[in-house]
Amino acid sequence: MAQTPPAPLAHPAPHGGAARPSADGVWINWVPAAGLVVQDVPVPAGEPMCAVVQDGRIAWVGPQLQLPLSFQTLHRWDARGAVATPGLVDCHTHLVYGGQRANEFAMRLAGATYEEVARAGGGIVSSVKATRASTEDELFAQAAPRLQALLDEGVCAIEIKSGYGLALEHERKQLRVARRLGEAFGVTVRTTFLGAHALPPEYAGRSQDYTDLVCHEMLPALAAESLVDAVDVFCERIAFTLAETEQVFQAAQRLGIPVKLHAEQLSDMGGAALAARYGALSCDHIEHLSADGIAAMKAAGTVAVLLPGAYYTLRDTHLPPIAQLREAGVPMAVSTDHNPGTSPALSMLLMANMACTLFRLTVPEALAGITTHAARALGLQDTHGLIAAGRPANFVLWPVAEAAELAYWLGHKPACTIVRQGRLVANGLGVAIAREPHGA
Ligand code: DI6
Ligand code: FE
């Protein structure tokens, strides 16, 4: 199939990135959120912590009083007792799309179900029309403020899926916009190819033909352009069958690309067990996940990604099997699932709140869910999701008295101080350089 060679990616950087000041120095006087900080020496309870940032990476983390001599002369940033978390990780989003779907929100309020809206020609396919009709620059301009809203709340890594193009050139457009957003905003973006999201109208009744196109043309072409960090499928009655899902996974495997799955959202399709057999990074939604699915995920080290925004928006009542996941020791991540149909959510803290209130996660589980486990769901467990030596400096200082406040407030965006990719990108706390020794 003849393709116009893609133009080189543009690199406009009006949104931060290298223009922001370096965060190098010693960050003193903060309190770690439990379990999210790996210190280099043991820390007596209540002792203020400090982290050394050098060349944009964390060089050392530990109690302030034990700061190694070699770092004593670096300048200091005084966090004045703020609570620190790693940079948040939003591990499941459909952030790049044309238009919006408030009309469907109204239809559902009038009684239509998500499946009915989809079968009536709304749903994903209506976003496909708007996405196909948009240029790369238009998609960038529409997604930018959404990304900014997430970044303002401390997101330092984000997954962005395709899946509203459903044809090579339009899927490419979405993935290129995702990459450009990462570069322009100075944030880690992991792209996921979700060509198997819905059957495009021109393939109506020809599901196998479209699956073949996804496997044999779209995925190999986009992978060759380095646009695909992972491959996802919507495995569902209204989307792709288990057999079609496996074909896509096989295509990903041939290219050495990791997989993840929209699994058991509306029904138990056996998708999680299949995904686990392919060593999936994550199975997402999983409201209808079975005991077999849980066991397979545990054995494969697959992360369970909980999406309370979609559960809430669809007014779902079938809870994911949280107690069983917890008992099995399957890591649980929490994400926005930002998309125009089922989760127009733009706050990770709100998702943490909903994960607690709707799904009964504990606060530490929810906070690990939006950091450590979310990083694992993207294969970023060695670089993101923990404050630890050797990693790029991505952390957030919060103006709260205790970490539980991060999941407690509803719809409040605390003015935080954010270090992203080693740069001070927001400073709501007004952290200033303090030159006194030991932050006295
Ligand atoms: N599951 C979802 O929650 C979104 N996609 C998916 O596979 C919904 C996408 C949409 O309605 O636009
Ligand atoms: Fe989704």
Ligand 1, atom 6: closest residue by C-alpha = 234
pTM over 0.75: yes
What is the band of 18 on the pLDDT scale with cuts at 50, 70, 90? Answer: low
Q: Please provide the distance, in angstroms rounded to a whole number, between the alpha carbons at the two ends of the chain.
A: 67
pLDDT at 119: 76
In this prediction, residue 2 has a pLDDT band, given cuts at 50, 70 and 90, of: very low
- Ligand 1 pocket check for 337: Cβ under 6 Å: yes
User: Tens digit of pLDDT for each residue in 190-229?
Assistant: 999 999 999 999 999 999 999 999 999 999 999 999 999 9
Is any ligand 1 atom within 6 A of the Cβ of residue 93?
no
From the CB of 234, is ligand 1 less than 6 Å away?
A: yes
Which residues have a beta carbon within 5 Å of ligand 2, which is an ion? 337
Q: Per-residue pLDDT averaged across 37-43, rounded?
A: 83
Report which of 293, 303, 407 is spatially closest to residue 358, judged by C-alpha positions.
407
Q: Percent of the chain scored above 70 by pLDDT?
A: 95
Ligand 1 atom with the shortest distance to the CA of 197: 7
pLDDT at 3 over 80: no
164 lines ligand 1 (CB under 6 A): no
pLDDT digits (tens, 9 = 90+) for 56-66: 999 999 999 99
pLDDT digits (tens, 9 = 90+) for 48-105: 999 999 999 999 999 999 999 999 999 999 999 999 999 999 999 999 999 999 989 9
Cα–Cα distance between 104 and 341 in angstroms, integer? 7
Check whether 8 has a pLDDT greater than 80.
no
pLDDT digits (tens, 9 = 90+) for 327-382: 999 999 999 999 999 999 999 999 999 999 999 999 999 999 999 999 999 999 99
Q: According to the model, what pLDDT value does residue 231 have? A: 98
Ligand 1, residues 94, 232, 287: which to mutate, most atoms within 8 A of Cβ?
94
CA separation, residue 2 to residues 163, 193, 217, 235, 313 (Å): 22, 21, 11, 30, 42
Shortest-distance atom of ligand 1 to CA 239: 7
Measured in Å, residue 197 CA sits from the centre of ligand 1 at: 8
Q: Given the CA of residue 124, which atom of ligand 1 is nearest to it? A: 12
User: Considering every ligand atom, which ligand is closest to the CA of 117?
Assistant: 1
CA atoms within 13 Å, Cβ hemisphere of 134: 26
Q: Mind listing the pLDDT tens digit for each residue in 293-321?
A: 999 999 999 999 999 999 999 899 999 99
Task: Enter the tokens of residue 53.
Answer: 């940032």
Query: pLDDT value at position 47?
Result: 84
Could you tell me the sign of the dihedral formed by the alpha carbons of 117, 128, 260, 364, in that order? Answer: negative
Q: What is the pLDDT of residue 397?
A: 98
7 pLDDT more than 60: no
Mutate to test the pocket of ligand 1, among 234, 240, 282 (most ligand atoms within 8 A of CB): 234
CB 124 less than 6 A from any atom of ligand 1: yes
Average pLDDT, the chain: 93
Q: Could you tell me the pLDDT band of residue 15, with boundaries at 50, 70 and 90? A: low
